[in-house]
Amino acid sequence: MSRSAHPAGPRHADVYPEGHYTAPAADLNVLDEKVWARTVRRNADGVVTVGGREVSRLAEEFGTPAYFLDESDFRARCRAWADAFGPDADVFYAGKAFLSRAVVRWLKEEGLNLDVCSGGELTTALDAGMPAERIAFHGNNKSVEEIERAVRVGVGRIVLDSFQEIVRVAHIAQSQGKRQRVQIRVTVGVEAHTHEFIATAHEDQKFGIALADGQAAEAVRRALRLDGLELIGIHSHIGSQIFDMAGFEVSARRVVQLLTEVRDEHGVELPEIDLGGGLGIAYTSEDDPREPHEIAKALTEIVGRECEAAGLSTPRISVEPGRAIVGPTAFTLYEVGTIKPLEGLRTYVSVDGGMSDNIRTALYDAEYSVALVSRTSDAEPMLVRVVGKHCESGDIVVRDAFLPADLAPGDLIAVPATGAYCRSMASNYNHSLRPPVVAVNDGEARVIVRRETEEDLLRLDVG
């Protein structure tokens, strides 16, 4: 059934069994607003617009492939998350989904905090003026240099991921004469999948310290003893593209249980809980994500209820949405190059990008949708597989979708919901040039990350 091993296990991969595809939409010209950025429309000439700009004009100006990001949608989603959680909670945008200096400025202006997980992300955040105290530093193997810099600039928190790191961060903070605010990342034994979750005692993965066998309790014991550390809370991140709140419920309950044990053993009430990110978005019309206010209500209630039952004062909650903020705000625009009908199977549509600008389909069997955006068509739907131009048969962008049967080379097609984990995971495979990210807002389009050039490639290649 599954074509490739999925990091979240086989139950994830078989979400899309061989030969399965959903029926074509009644009218392929209609754009499902669920999967497109908020200002995307089709105008009277049949051309799709974003922020009031026609994709055909954008393609002329910026070339293809390119990512077009709806800035007003991005900002609106930031505000929706901040408003939903209110002043008594913190929203950290997960920078790994997509980070640039423009994005950092938007986050700063909209009142969000920022998660980084590398020196490069930290540099981008600081360079664009994000105050260090609004930055959280993550990662399962931060280098000594990264930790030294994070402590020196004064990041708001470092999320400790291992026993070695507890000692390492404490030592570095102490040598700088500082006391670093930290959280401990625990694994709660919840494997979250798209539409389900599995509760297990242990998780077979690299992140965090297990709650099982008292390991997390031991980590807390050690962190509390070290002068270089101010332990402010417990962190748990259970997965990605999650729709089912039940996984968060189990996670919150287990984290509160740990807070209770900590209080009983040390007489300390840790003031914060971070429940991570991973909230799902609509990649296709079949996905039904929750709104931020529903998620905030559910999480706040779960934590409040569990703490009340344990006689704990309610900790400050933080969450870390990445995909749920940036994912739906962008689409990738491609030009169709070749079209190859395979009798009795499907039609292969090759575009001018591929796995170098969207690795998620090849990596996770991710599902996407696609639409003809440079014109409308009344032709019959044809079953297609949208593929890239790379030397790899797994170079698939959209595994199964429908496009009009009169599709022709030169048509523009767009894949929605590519704001997260596409540009940030882009590669130079086949020495391709990574596409630009163009922010569109109210009739204005501006490049926020420029297209790579062949000079860029040669500059790294020192001969």
Ligand X SMILES: *Cc1c(COP(=O)(O)O)cnc(C)c1O
320 marked as part of a ligand binding site: yes
Q: Which of 445, 442, 339 is nearest to 382 (CA)?
A: 339
Q: How far is the CB of 179 from ligand X (least distance, A)?
A: 23
The residue (of 149 and 185) whose beta carbon lies closer to ligand X is 185
**Distance between terminal CA atoms of the chain?**
45
User: Applying CB under 6 A, does 172 fall inside the site for ligand X?
Assistant: no
Binder among 249, 320, 357, 411 for ligand X (CB under 6 A): 320
Stretch that binds ligand X, among 176-184, 277-285, 401-409, 427-435 (CB under 6 A): 277-285
- Helix/strand/coil percent split, the chain, to 5: 35, 25, 40
Q: Which of 50, 106, 56 is nearest to 331 (CA)?
A: 50
User: Applying CB under 6 A, does 157 fall inside the site for ligand X?
Assistant: no
Stretch that binds ligand X, among 94-102, 169-177, 308-316, 430-438 (CB under 6 A): 94-102
| Helix (H) or strand (E) run with residue 441 in it | strand 437-441
Is 422 one of the catalytic residues?
Answer: no
User: Applying CB under 6 A, does 162 fall inside the site for ligand X?
Assistant: no
Question: Number of helices and strands (H, E) in the chain?
Answer: 13, 23
User: Applying CB under 6 A, does 277 fall inside the site for ligand X?
Assistant: yes
Q: How far apart are CA 147 and CA 159, in angstroms?
A: 11
Q: How far apart are CA 309 and CA 52, in angstroms?
A: 52
x/- track of binding to ligand X for residues 216-255 (CB under 6 A): ---------------------x--x---------------
x/- track of binding to ligand X for residues 37-76 (CB under 6 A): ----------------------------------------
452: left (phi over 0), alpha (psi -120 to 50) or beta: beta
Binder among 247, 278, 289, 435 for ligand X (CB under 6 A): 278
Q: How many residues bind ligand X (CB under 6 A)?
A: 17
182, amino acid identity: V
234, amino acid identity: I
User: Applying CB under 6 A, does 389 fall inside the site for ligand X?
Assistant: no
The residue (of 270 and 319) whose beta carbon lies closer to ligand X is 319
Stretch that binds ligand X, among 270-278, 301-309, 422-430, 439-447 (CB under 6 A): 270-278
The residue (of 270 and 401) whose beta carbon lies closer to ligand X is 270
Judged on CB neighbours under 10 Å (0-12, 13-18, 19+), 209 is buried
Q: How far is the CB of 211 from ligand X (least distance, A)?
A: 16
Task: Report yes or no: 323 and 281 within 8 Å, Cβ to Cβ.
Answer: yes
Residues forming beta bridges with residue 413, ordered by sequence position: 334, 372
Contacts of 350 (CB under 8 A, 6+ apart): 336, 337, 338, 339, 340, 387, 388, 389
User: Applying CB under 6 A, does 95 fall inside the site for ligand X?
Assistant: no
The residue (of 94 and 262) whose beta carbon lies closer to ligand X is 94
Give the residue numbers marked as catalytic. Answer: 391
Which residues of the chain form contacts with ligand X (CB under 6 A)?
94, 96-97, 115, 138, 237, 240, 276-279, 320-324, 420
Residues that constitute the known binding site for pyridoxal 5'-phosphate: 278, 320-323, 421
